[in-house]
Amino acid sequence: MIGHSRGQALAAYQSVANHGGVAAADPHGLVLMLLEGALERVARLRVAIIEKDFNEKARAINRTLGILDELRGSLDFEVGGEIARNLNALYDYIERQLLGVSMSLNLDAVDEVTRLLSHLRTTWVAVRAEAVKPPVA
């Protein structure tokens, strides 16, 4: 990659690797990837607030909100019923927390978002494990 910095080359590689992972992922895997991406962005948000890097703070919030929109868009309210409605409300709450952090720079709210997303990720891993279990004969 002549003319590109090492960081740009690494970013390009990660982008290709991520897109390859998306192409190969099942629906449970896609949700897991989105949750992990959200957790990564929220970790960046926390560092950005501490370092007073307000451009990165805005970027991290916007990217996390985009991921939450994807998660929300994947909800099927007819099939998912109450679970889908509860997840929708949780995503809405997390979005409101992030929008509040944008103005307040409240690290406690960032930590709460991290806990909520981590819990969702842990739960989703368990759901995925159950979904891919071979049937008992």
Domains in the chain: boundaries? 26-131
pLDDT on residue 27 = 82
Tokens encoding 85: 């409605």
pLDDT on residue 133 = 72
pTM over 0.85? The answer is no
Distances, alpha carbon 74 to alpha carbons 43, 78, 110, in Å: 24, 12, 24
pLDDT on residue 25 = 66
Give the Cα separation of 123 and 88 in Å (integer): 16
Architecture of the structural domain at 26-131: Up-down Bundle (1.20)
Helix (H) or strand (E) segment spanning residue 20: helix 6-24
- Spell out, as residue ranges, where the chain has pLDDT lower than 50: 1-17, 19-20
Q: CA angle, 32 as apex, 22 and 88 as ends, to 5°?
A: 115
